[in-house]
Amino acid sequence: MVTAIATINLKGGVGKSTMTAALAEFMASHFGKRVLLIDLDPQTNLTTMMIGGHRWQELNNSHRTLKALFEQALDSQATAFNIEEAIQRDVSPLATVTGIDLLASSLDMIEISEEVAAWQYEEPDSLQPLSVLKTAVDKVRHNYDYILIDCPPNMGIVTRNGLMLADAYVIPTIPDILSTYGIPQIQKRIAMFSAKSGHSLKALGLIITKYRKSTNLHRDTINRLQNAALDFDAQRPEERVSTERPPNVIPFWVPDAIAIAGAAEYRDQGSLSKRYGGGDTVDTLHDLTEHVMMNAKIYA
């Protein structure tokens, strides 16, 4: 049974798209899973990581990005969106990695998201503006083991389309004050979304990115995040009613490594080990991926 997982953080620059790509590549290469990547972020970082800028431009020019899907939902006279034609097969700059498909984003998603938001404003009780993506992807989801949805760094209508499709979500974050400040807000907004839409999804945890073990701030922040979940669990049941449980910190912390930053470049480095720096970093990404998959099957 396919499991859809959204990656989300309200702050940019935390490695969200890179982690989404890494999870997909390790799921496919190390665990033999079929993965569909969905890039909802108008920055298109995940898209260009996986297929490069030239191929993305071709898709954009031929109306095969997700912008075309939302355009069709808004205007029946718009160019028809064919999801089978839009899906890019076996994406990854690594020739040795197969089993990953992609629905590409577009720089024009910002403009189209404003129009979809206006549609929802006009029909506030309708779930249709929230279900554009899910309606399309439901036609092909049986082809995959996992769907990974890279959400924009906001809680706008496009992100909520991703959440409507998702069974669970993870929050990639740098362990510092600015990157973790919005985590309670993410949980609050997702809880509000779930209450309104009737679609619930499970928090699978925080993915620590760009970790520097020599930095006191990073260690202290991780301790604070871990203790927040423990403190919540120690409360009496009646004290928990008005607050969302803080997410667990997934116990595999991805280091701040030059190789991981360089993974955003679209080129074939030959192997996953070379793409992500080898050694302990690859072991961490393997264990992180396994943990996410295990928790997704248990809780989602």
What is the C-alpha to C-alpha distance for residues 52 and 42, in angstroms, rounded to an integer?
15
Per-position DSSP letters for the chain, written without gaps between them: --EEEEE--SSSSSSHHHHHHHHHHHHHHHH---EEEEE--TT-HHHHHHHHHHHHHHHHHTT-SHHHHHHHHH-TTSPPP-HHHHPBPS--S-TT--SEEEE---TTHHHHHHHHHHHHHHSTT-SGGGSHHHHHHTTTGGG-SEEEEE--SS-SHHHHHHHHH-SEEEEEE-SSHHHHTTHHHHHHHHHHHHHHHS---EEEEEEE-SB-TT-HHHHHHHHHHHHHHHHHHHS-GGGSTTSPPPPPBPS-PPB--HHHHHTTS-S--SSHHHHHTSHHHHHHHHHHHHHHHHHHHHH-
Structural domain boundaries enclosing 223: 3-299
User: In whole angstroms, how far apart are CA 55 and each of 50, 93, 104, 111, 265?
Assistant: 10, 12, 10, 22, 14
- By residue count, the chain amounts to 300
User: In whole angstroms, how far apart are CA 134 and each of 26, 227, 266?
Assistant: 25, 36, 29
Predicted local distance difference test score (pLDDT) of residue 300:
62
Total domain count for the chain?
Answer: 1
Predicted local distance difference test score (pLDDT) of residue 240:
79
Predicted local distance difference test score (pLDDT) of residue 121:
82
Q: pLDDT tens across 196-236, in order?
A: 999 999 999 999 999 999 999 999 999 999 999 998 888 88
pLDDT tens over the chain, length 300 residues: 899 999 999 998 899 999 999 999 999 999 999 999 999 999 999 999 999 999 999 999 999 999 999 999 998 788 889 999 999 999 999 999 999 999 999 999 988 888 888 888 888 888 999 999 999 999 999 999 999 999 999 999 999 999 999 999 999 999 999 999 999 999 999 999 999 999 999 999 999 999 999 999 999 999 999 999 998 888 888 777 778 889 999 999 999 987 888 888 899 999 999 999 888 999 999 999 999 999 998 866
Q: What is the CATH number of the domain that holds 47?
A: 3.40.50.300
